[in-house]
Structure 1
Amino acid sequence: MTENTIPPGQEGAYGLRIGDEDLTFTHHQINDPIITIEQILGLANARLKDEFDIYEFRHDGTFTRLDPASMVDLRQEGIESFLVFRTDRAFRLMIDDERYDWGVRRISGKALREIAHISPEMELWEALREQPDRKIHDTDLVDLNHPGTEKFYSRARTWKLKIRQNIYEFAASCITARQALDAAGFDLQKGWDLVLVSKSGRREIKIDDKIDLSEPGIEKLRVKPSVVNNGESQLGPRRDFSLLERDEDFLKNLGLNWRTVIDDKKRWLLIDGYELPKGLSASSITLALLIPAKYPSTQIDMFYCSPSLTLADGKGIAKTQTTESIEGITFQRWSRHRKGDSVWQPESDCVETHLELVEECIGREVNA
């Protein structure tokens, strides 16, 4: 953020925005670098005698009431926006079971923190009645004009890591892979091959390597048992046809047990031991993708599961009633199709991106 700069062709003018309680802003230019509260009220078509309050609203969420006798220097960093409210009512709110009164309809996350003295190390959440609670950031503005008292609470910050389709929370932003496996219930006496997947890419890690959970998004830890080679010859996995090189590299890097099968002239990619989130009738399946002969020009569509899945309580899942036989084994077809922004792009879409779609579709059924 820089100082309030002079727009081209507006030498000597300073820009500011004035908003009302509905956050409807109007833009203004003024020649004076230092202005009075009365000037701001005049731009807002309000008058002091009508009992208005003015709040300075900065980009970092700072929400400060201005005294009627104060002066504002528009040359200061971040001084650009003001909110003008009537002062004829008060709004009640609760933060960590303590009651507070606030003079205007909206309040920023940073203002909530300041009035309740909540430290930056804590998260701030709004307790909602008929939907999941909402995390409040410093720059968020919360509307207090709802029936009843708005309630907020603070809690210790946590960081998330996805391990085998389930999400685990940790109190520290940097943990070891050993701590992650222990939290997920893995036997630490056994050997495990680990692949960490994050926004910055994927890499193999060791059990005592550190995992930085502060990166944007939720990181994923892929886990498979280490294979001990005792020197005996073993048959390689079945490959009735080849995938794209990038597909095979992706599957190899994730340590997935996969094979390609041609059955009744259909080309199938089968992934054994594909792990599922909690809330379904099985913890893992054989996942099948039908690979078109002209892939990737022709898209991969839908996916298939064996055994067939229901929710853990026995309820069926929509659009999964059709089955397909692959070498005599029944697979349940999940009729899920790309549309809108997710339409297939032959230049970029592949097995990896379709597996992301599979993961999203399955997770949506159990809110994972």
Structure 2
Amino acid sequence: MLPTNTDSPAAKKPKKSIAIVNEVEISFEDPIHTGREILKEAEIKHPECVDLYQLFPSGDFERISLDEKVDFSKSGVEKFITKEVEFRNYTVDGQQETTDQKKLTADRILKLAGIDPEHHFLILVKNDNTKVSYARKGDEEIKITCPPMQFLTGKKDTVCDFEQCCHSGTIPVISYRYVIKINSEKYTVDEKEMTGRQILALIGQTPESYYLRFKHKGGSTIVGADEVIDFTKCGVERFSAKAKNCTEGRVNQRDFSLPEEDADFLKKLNLSWDSFSEGSRWLILRDYALPIGYNVEKCDVAIAIPANYPIEQLDMFYMYPNLVRADRQVIGALSPQIIEGKQYQRWSRHRTPQNQWVPGEDNLATHLELMIHSLREEFTKR
């Protein structure tokens, strides 16, 4: 039998190099590695955010830079620890800056970058590319974190005309002031975000007495009192404000007209109603009287009006507030639907093949008859 050649390449196995980083054991096939490679192997997500130190049996230690090489061919297990970096990097308008401070005010960041806070303001670009403005917040402290933060600057004399941006198809930029249009008047505001209540305050009104809608390409949507409108988002063109009540009665929204027979029908019933576009065309019947047996006596009823109605049928109905049976029995085939910024309750009730929609015979009146029938029939099912 021939002796085994222990010197052959097949018989030799590479010696693994062992290291411990923050009490976590890692290993390498190759004997030489950079500080960056060591941190990566130790699953340090952002190597630039920590300093790496090599510990020696004597108790001494040495800082290892990211590109510095460490020889693992020596005997023994190499030990390392990491510490949070002392200096943090960030950029202002693409220019790198460095600080040893963990917090800086917005104005201080501008000054360190050689930018005058009297004429500029700071904008933080977050990891998801959303932006935070520090206009009029120059004294607010910002925690300087790693990986490097990104800042932009804006000029305080910049004014963004909200309506003009949307009409031109331009995404509004973060500005120091914004021009918004309410009804036919323009107003200059200092904040990039405002609530419905704050917007109404510009015309001396409140949500308790006025409706506020924002107009957009898809139609219009009611703005809640505490709902926040971001002026830097594209889509909102202008605002309209109308009184909920006045000496001559409630002012109703009329974005589209109903057929004459439907309008006459609602007039005879003395019903208040609104029509507006919000993705779909909606008819809202205000304070519609309900059959007995529900948690409320009246509610707002929404009906989707197809573009080619009355040729195309009306289908289903939507209630606000949500209806509950007084006896607490479950109502079937219900689902939520957001209309005019509120959660309506969709009742999925449809015509049968024996009761199909007939143009010229069926209209809003017959649809409401089916609705009332469905509301009453609910109590005979269960």
Larger-gyration structure (1/2):
2
Indicate whether the TM-score tops 0.5.
no
TM-score normalised by L of structure 1: 0.35
Name the structure, 1 or 2, with higher relative contact order (CA <8 Å, separation 6+).
Answer: 1
